[in-house]
Structure 1
Amino acid sequence: MIIALSGGIGGAKLALGLSHVLPPEELLILANTGDDFEHLGLSISPDIDTLTYALAGLDNQELGWGRRDETWSFMETLASIGGETWFRLGDRDLALHVERTRRLRAGETLSAVTADIARRLGIGPRILPMSDDPVRTRLLSDDGWLDLQHWFVREQTRPAVRAVEFAGAETARPNPALLAALGARPRAVVICPSNPFISIGPILAVPGLREAIAGCGAPVIAVSPIIAGQAVKGPTARMFEQAGIVPSAAAVAARYADLLTHYVMEPDDDATGIEARIIRAPTLMRSLEDKIALARVVLDAA
């Protein structure tokens, strides 16, 4: 069993690669839910949805989020009557959020809803939320405290970030299916190339989860989301800078230092200070072939 910890776009790329080289029953993907929020009365789970669409072959590769072949009649109508349109929900995507909200309100867990939707979309590997209890990432910015999506989407990451907190994490319970998988001695735990502050950070903030990973007896392999001091996508590098840390592959590795046995990074990046076994390989995933090649590098390390 390979257990992959993932945020959205970058993590979903490696998760897709892993899904092409592993039997479905041998891959478990643990999704960040710190991004989850309520919007227009709907329960939105952005990272779960990005993973779901990518593994189902339904992702919008042009936008990098949402579903392909999308239409926008709902948003256009909403704008015409003065509704909030800063978080765009396509017509096809909207159906998923409506159904998830209905089922959660009927008493189902997020794990159960996610698993059933994945099954119906023909996805073999398991996608698990990190917890069925709500955890919400909040950021202290120059404009005050902002919920993650308000900072990331509405404000386009413009306000500088001074602190990050995970509201609800202190009482959240790790997903029991994850704990069972960790207890069964997995082949490896993979930390996908996702933002360490706001994608992997919320996962590791769930009480007991970091300790369970450290004690599972399997190699822990992270892939750097930083190449030559720059993030492949998103605000990772800028968040390091705002924390007073030079963005680098080594800076990411330092955040997982107590867990890592192996670290996959670009051939030319500086490895100074990294204590894990370093594996040099191309980490930029533009094509499906790139994703599969990186997945094989990770599995060879395992």
Structure 2
Amino acid sequence: MTRAPRIVVLAGGVGGSRFVLGVRGALRARGIADTASALTVVVNTGDDLWLSGVRLQPDVDSITYALAGVNDTERGWGRQGDTERVNHELQQWGAGWPWFTLGDLDLGTHLARTGWLREGLTPTHVLERMSHRWPLGARLLPMTDSEVDTIVVLGDGTRLHFQEWWTRHRATLAPVAFENPGVAASTPAPGVVEAIADADVVLLAPSNPVVSIGPILAVPGVRDALRATSAPVVGVSPIIGGKVVRGMADVCLAAIGVETSAAAVAELYGARADGGLLDAWLIAEEDEQLAAEVSARGIRSLVRPLWMTDATRSAALGEAALAAAGV
């Protein structure tokens, strides 16, 4: 392949941010300077919400900040070196959620976004405008321009916004279902289906399969595009050694009846040959014993180091994912 490969990554959350950085790093290691023309990231917007009159897009912002190099790497979200004066003032007024911290710099992003949305821009246009501030080295697309939040349903019928369940309760309240109101009537954001169709490889990041990748796949037309593309679809397991790397994906998986294992998540996505999504699945060295089980499901299994503890290892994982697709 003489031109730069066309890569599409479906991503959300901290795992998605680190993986996208790794793919960009792998491209740069190959000597591809204009990574923005090679790398498209379809970002989960299922955990978006309105709060104190502004529109928040946590996964969009996490990936944007990570690519810009301004993210708070210790917390995994928000801006590096941010302050919380405005958030404190909001709490004094009894506004917002006292357990949901909004940094001052982060609020600047939310205010700019909300203003543009109220002026009539779509989320796609807003994200494009945001991308002009920093040299991100990737094209970012929201999964849809429709407002599709995630609702967590508890056993007693209580319904909570995902952010309240995740941030306030730390996923300690047992869910029985996750819903995305409005997703059935949504459409993929402009460019999403086209990017998948034209891709040389599509990568499913090691993001939460239920609440990060799941909402993207729930947008009508996205699954069909993945099944129809001529590009290999390669996924990276978010489970290492039978445990989640970060967050509470195990609680989410249990709610939908899926075991916390690399093989079970591969089965959740399914083999493309059987109407699923995956051609290949990268599993950790700690899960090597599951390789045969994954292969038996019609998904090519590759054992690779999956820990993204620094930029070098993240880039190595990005390269491994590209190599698994033969690009």
TM-score normalised by length of structure 2? 0.89
Deviates more, 1:130-139 or 1:140-149: 140-149
- Give me the whole-angstrom Cα distance separating, in 1, the residues matched to 2:42 and 2:50: 21
Contact 1:197 1:236 in 2 (8 A): yes
Greater Cα shift, 232-241 or 36-45: 232-241
What's the offset of the Cα at 1:154? 2.1
Task: Show the counterpart of 1:88.
Answer: 101
- Residue deviations 1:164-191, cap 9 Å, x none? 111111110112211222232x111000
Moved more, 139-148 or 222-231: 139-148
User: Structure 2: where are the runs of 5+ without partners?
Assistant: 1-5, 28-34, 271-275
- SS of 2:235's equivalent in the other structure is strand
Q: 1:265 is matched with which residue?
A: 283
| Greater alpha carbon shift after TM alignment, 95-104 vs 146-155 | 146-155
Q: Does 1:168 align with 2:182?
A: yes
Q: State the 1:124 CA deviation.
A: 2.5
Per-residue CA deviation, residues 220-253 of structure 1 (Å, 9 max, x unaligned), is 0000000111100111112223444321001111
Question: For 2:311, which of 284, 288, 291 is the aligned residue?
Answer: 288
Distance (whole Å) between structure 2 residues aligned to residue 134 and residue 33 of structure 1: 8
CA contact (8 A) 2:124 2:190 kept: no
Q: 1:178 corresponds to which residue?
A: 192
Say whether 1:255 aligns with 2:268: yes
Question: What is residue 299 of structure 2 aligned with on the other side?
Answer: 276
Task: State the number of aligned residues.
Answer: 301
Q: Per-residue CA shift, 1:52-73, capped at 9, x if unaligned?
A: 0000001101111101011111
Q: 18, 32, 43: which is aligned to 1:13?
A: 18
Letter of the structure 2 residue corresponding to residue 264 of structure 1: L
| Mapping 1:143-292, distance limit 5 Å | 144-184=158-198, 186-257=199-270, 258-269=276-287, 270-271=290-291, 272-273=293-294, 274-292=297-315
Cα deviation, residue 268, structure 1 = 3.0
Q: CA RMSD in A?
A: 1.3
In structure 1, distance between residues paired with 2:72 and 2:206: 19
Answer with 98-107 or 235-244: which moved more. Answer: 235-244
SS in 1 for 2:191: helix
Partner of 2:180, secondary structure, is strand
Which SS does the other structure have where 2:253 is aligned?
helix
In the alignment, is the contact (CA less than 8 A) between 1:111 and 1:132 conserved in 2? yes
2:145 corresponds to which of 105, 108, 132 = 132
Amino acid at match of 2:303: R
Q: Deviation at 1:79?
A: 2.7
Ranges in structure 1 where 5+ consecutive residues have no aligned partner: none
Amino acid at match of 2:168: R
Are 2:44 and 2:216, in contact at CA under 8 Å, matched by a contact in 1? yes
Work out which of the residue numbers 65, 77, 82 in structure 2 matches 1:70.
82
Percent identity reads 39
Q: TM-score by structure 1 length?
A: 0.96
